[in-house]
Amino acid sequence: MKKVAILGVGHTPFAFGTKKTLVELFSEAAMEAITNSNLQAKDIQAMYVGNCLGDFSEGQGMVQSYCASDIGAWNIPAMRLEGACATATMAIINAYIWVASGFFDIVLVGGAETASKMGTSLATRTFAMFADGHYEYPCGLTFPGAFAMLAHLYSAKYGVPLKKLKEQMALVSIQSHHYGKFNKLGQLHNDITKEDVFKSFMVSSPIQLYDCCPFSDGAAALVLAAEEKAKKLTNKPVYIAGMGQASSGNYSTQKDFLPRLRAREIAVKKAYDMAGIQPKDVNLCELHDCFSVASIIAAESLGFTDFGRGGELWEKGETRIGGKIPINISGGLKSKGHPIGATGASQVADIVKQMRGMVEPERQVEGVKIGLTDTLGGDGIICNLVLQRGW
Amino acid sequence: MGGIEYTLTFQQFNETLRKKNKLLGLICDDCGKYTCPPKMTCQECGGTNLKIAELRGSGKITTFTTSYVTAIGREVEAPILVIFVELDEGPWIMGNLVGVDPNLATMESIMGKKVQLVATRVLPTDTYSKGEEAKGGLSRPTFAFVK
């Protein structure tokens, strides 16, 4: 298997109410990634496009071939992947396999979403399609609803009183907004307080509006290349050193593990083992904070602390720059935004830029050698990537 | 040849719950454990020697939420009290709780409480759930506190 490097990355602004189409957003991110790789579109041999809901948001399926056509990568094999919010990371894993196998040398991969176009109630309906539509959705399960149930379960199982857990959850959102306000490509640029969180609209008890990521539009893309090719094109290759992906059935099949998501523990172990590292070796992590409590749950399963103690990481500032494990210094899904089909590529793009010293100075983490991304799709897909600085 | 059909399909599960107010599951001949909602294989051991079993419909609430935001077409339902029930036979099933004001639901008042299946509520099908298998609507396991 060949070693696979990330060359250039591209990232549109994340926003609510874009005036661009899905294909336009993807193509802009793609061209930025290609240009930053010192390549042209005709050098791209294949591409993977992550997109979940174009069918609903724009009445547009099969975006991949239109994206390839628009950027001028004519007639190449183009694939669309859908795995709810883990979509783009799934796309990266598949693109990685093609390059690692030696079948292609240079592959473009990314994702795009224009969720804001659906409006809240259709968006809520379509997001709920990423839960069990026959056995769980009919009861009224929504995405925030699922994490709300996990929050209550977490409180009971670990003996963290709900009031304390809610305080910890608020700290997660506050930190995301703090760093997110410096991210020029992010969606939200305001600081928030505990008071703001606690007086915000109750979405699904105990989750309030400021515990939730927003609906977002945007795209992100990367160019992957085989090691020998990459060395000719950049002196700052970032290697995909480890990867893991796992799936689970609906929530009821996960009864023995909740609020832990078993798929995460399996996926991240694969990624750590493949890279030959341990959680303590990770210098920077972008994890899937679709809801504040999701960050706490994720940090535990990724091995950064014991079960039931995730919130303490935020309380003690361990997740900030200079802390034990800086988390979501991009602003995370909460502040940067969450265009679901693009999120995994956005996480990777941000860590690559961090390693190359290319983010805003207020949120630059120095000396990042190993980064970890964590992306959760629906109730059952987890993808983890270990990224390693190659210079 | 060599294929395997579902012992209990969604249609049969859904209709039985909707028309007869009975909760069906599967019992595994290999490990003796129950699976509900149904699947092709036993959720505990992966076995395929399954038989349909009528479950008692009683258990205890493990977690809940009161949802104030709903999907399109369901706005009138808000707030919805969604619960997870650990059935006496072992499986967890998602359902609704009736007889309680959703606005007043707290961890103390809901979690750990014993519940029993009552008259099934039904979600009418929408644009995205119009198949024959869902004809008559989607059954929602509906529970109330055991008095």
Per-residue pLDDT tens over the stretch B46-102: 999 999 999 999 999 999 999 999 888 888 999 999 999 999 999 999 999 999 999
Residue A329 near residue A176 (C-beta atoms within 8 A): no
How many angstroms separate the CA atoms of A11 and A222, rounded?
A: 9
Instruction: Return the pLDDT at B100.
Output: 97
Give tens-digit pLDDT for A241-271: 999 999 999 999 999 999 999 999 999 999 9
**Mean predicted confidence (pLDDT) in A367-383:** 96
Confidence of residue A125 (pLDDT cuts 50, 70, 90): confident
Instruction: Return the pLDDT at A128.
Output: 86
Residue (of A253, A259, A291, A251) closest to A153 by Cα position: A259
Q: Phi and psi at residue A297, in whole multiples of 5°? A: -65, -40
Q: Tell me which CATH code domain A4-119+215-239 carries.
A: 3.40.47.10
Pairwise CB contact (< 8 Å): A135 & B37 = yes
**Does residue B2 surpass a pLDDT of 90?**
no
Q: Which residues in chain A (64-103) have CB-CB distances under 8 A to chain B?
A: none
Confidence of residue B1 (pLDDT cuts 50, 70, 90): low
**Does residue A154 surpass a pLDDT of 70?**
yes
Residue A331 near residue A183 (C-beta atoms within 8 A): yes
ipTM rounded to 2 decimals: 0.97
How many angstroms separate the CA atoms of A45 and A166, rounded?
A: 48
Give tens-digit pLDDT for B105-136: 999 999 999 999 999 999 999 888 889 999 99
Domain boundaries, chain A: 4-119+215-239, 142-213+241-389
Give tens-digit pLDDT for A327-345: 999 999 999 999 999 999 9
Q: Tell me which CATH code domain A142-213+241-389 carries.
A: 3.40.47.10
Which residue of B lies nearest to A259 if distances are taken between CA atoms? Answer: B63
Q: What share of chain B is helix, strand, coil (3-state, %, to 5)?
A: 15, 35, 50
In the numeric block, the tokens 């008559």 are attached to B136
Pairwise CB contact (< 8 Å): A249 & B37 = no
Instruction: Return the pLDDT at B70.
Output: 87
Choosing among B67, B117, B127, B143, which should be mutated to test the A contact, i.e. which has the most A CBs within 10 A?
Answer: B67
Domain boundaries, chain B: 10-145
The residue type found at A1 is M
How buried is A256 (Cβ within 10 angstroms: 0-12 exposed, 13-18 middle, 19+ buried)? exposed
What tokens appear for B33 in the block? Answer: 């454990």
Question: How many other β-carbons are positioned within 10 Å of the β-carbon of residue A65?
Answer: 17
Residue A113 near residue A51 (C-beta atoms within 8 A): yes
Confidence of residue A124 (pLDDT cuts 50, 70, 90): confident
**Mean predicted confidence (pLDDT) in A46-67:** 97
List CB contacts (< 8 A) between B39 and chain A.
Answer: 249, 253
How many angstroms separate the CA atoms of B35 and B40, rounded?
A: 10
- Kindly give the interhelix angle for A292-301 and A162-180, rounded to the nearest 10 degrees: 100
**Does residue A380 surpass a pLDDT of 90?**
no
In the numeric block, the tokens 């090691």 are attached to A227
The residue type found at A258 is L
List CB contacts (< 8 A) between B123 and chain A.
Answer: 138
**Does residue A140 surpass a pLDDT of 70?**
yes
How many angstroms separate the CA atoms of A202 and A247, rounded?
A: 30
pTM: 0.97
Q: Phi and psi at residue A117, in whole multiples of 5°? A: -65, -20
Q: How many helices (H) and strands (E) does chain A have?
A: 14, 11
How many angstroms separate the CA atoms of B53 and B84, rounded?
A: 20
What tokens appear for A228 in the block? Answer: 């020998």
Instruction: Return the pLDDT at B145.
Output: 98
**Does residue A389 surpass a pLDDT of 70?**
yes
Residue A117 near residue A126 (C-beta atoms within 8 A): no
Confidence of residue A239 (pLDDT cuts 50, 70, 90): very high
Give tens-digit pLDDT for A303-312: 999 999 999 9
